[in-house]
Structure 1
Amino acid sequence: MNRPSGYVIPPHVHNPVAREVQYTKEVLFIRSGRVRVDFYDDDHTYLESRVLETGDVILLAYGGLGFEMLEPTEMIEVKQGPYAGDNDKTRFEGISADQAVIKP
């Protein structure tokens, strides 16, 4: 949100609302370090890579992804629940580090 000084959000509670979740969405906040994120389409085809650094935030909504820590990294990960354990994801073979095409 970007609100001016004096803008008020009235006190509120969130009501219990049944929600059906089809795919897991996640947000990563990079607290420290550097991480390469590899992006894939839904058919597991590699698309491109990006490097995230301290202070970066990313929303991961669709497609496949993989990560390689380029230095010691601390991340905060936020997902909607409930978490389904091993049923939550399908793992597949990704690219090697030398195949990464890092976009600016």
Structure 2
Amino acid sequence: MEALPITGNAEVVHDSNFEVVSFEGETLAMIIRDSFSRSGVSFFTPKEFPQQLAYMEHPAGKVIDAHLHCKLVRQIEWTQEVLFVKRGRVLVKFYTPDKDYLSSRVLYAGDVILLASGGHGFEILEDASFFEVKQGPYMGEQEKLRFASANLSRCSEASNGPGVELEVKDGAR
């Protein structure tokens, strides 16, 4: 999978409340902080992604035309998922496609993350609740390849604020 192209998303890409986590040109995740705000419709994902993610902000009185989505055959080769954190703090650990630990980020209430590729694991730092959205149909445990998670120092995790990298491996952005 290619990294998020700047073309067409330049304004969003340069927003401090939006981060792309990538490794060697491949987009692993997109993090949208609770403080992100932009009028209109802002798509974060390139049109080729199997999971589309946008932010919409409209004034009272705006009308969005009634519509339906046509039934189309699509081929989905990998699962992408979106998490919306309602409350708490969640540490997300990112891994390369070869299962090597790359870096981590802390998510807070109101944050949204699209997990696009590579591996990921989570540690709940404070009692948390969150939504998960991913494509179906569900194919069972064969969708996942589980592996050992990186063991990080909780002291360093607790001292970092939003978006702070705990550790970065060469090639990560």
Which 5+ residue runs of structure 1 have no aligned equivalent? Answer: none
Q: Does 1:49 align with 2:104?
A: yes
Secondary structure at the aligned position of 2:142 is classed as helix
What residue is the counterpart of 2:120 in the other structure?
Answer: 65
For 1:13-52, what aligned pairs fall within 5 Å after superposition?
A: 13-52=68-107
Which 5+ residue runs of structure 2 have no aligned equivalent? Answer: 1-40, 42-55, 165-173
Residue by residue over 1:18-71, the C-alpha shift from the partner in whole angstroms, topping out at 9 and shown as x without a partner, is: 111111011000000001000001000111000001010011101000000001
What residue is the counterpart of 2:133 in the other structure?
Answer: 78
Which whole-Å CA distance do the structure 2 matches of 1:14 and 1:60 have between them?
A: 24
Counterpart selection for 1:94 from 143, 149, 156? 149
TM-score (norm 2): 0.55
Which whole-Å CA distance do the structure 1 matches of 2:110 and 2:71 have between them?
A: 32
Task: Kindly provide the amino acid, as one letter, of the partner of residue 17 in structure 1.
Answer: L
Which whole-Å CA distance do the structure 2 matches of 1:3 and 1:83 have between them?
A: 31
Secondary structure at the aligned position of 1:86 is classed as helix
TM-score (norm 1): 0.88
Secondary structure at the aligned position of 2:105 is classed as strand
1:82 and 1:94, CA in 2 relative to 1: closer, same or farther beyond 3 A?
A: same
Which whole-Å CA distance do the structure 1 matches of 2:65 and 2:88 have between them?
A: 37
Which whole-Å CA distance do the structure 1 matches of 2:109 and 2:150 have between them?
A: 24
The alpha-carbon deviation at position 9 of structure 1 amounts to: 3.2
Secondary structure at the aligned position of 1:87 is classed as helix
Which whole-Å CA distance do the structure 2 matches of 1:25 and 1:3 have between them?
A: 24
- Runs of 4+ in structure 1 over 3 Å off: 2-9, 99-103
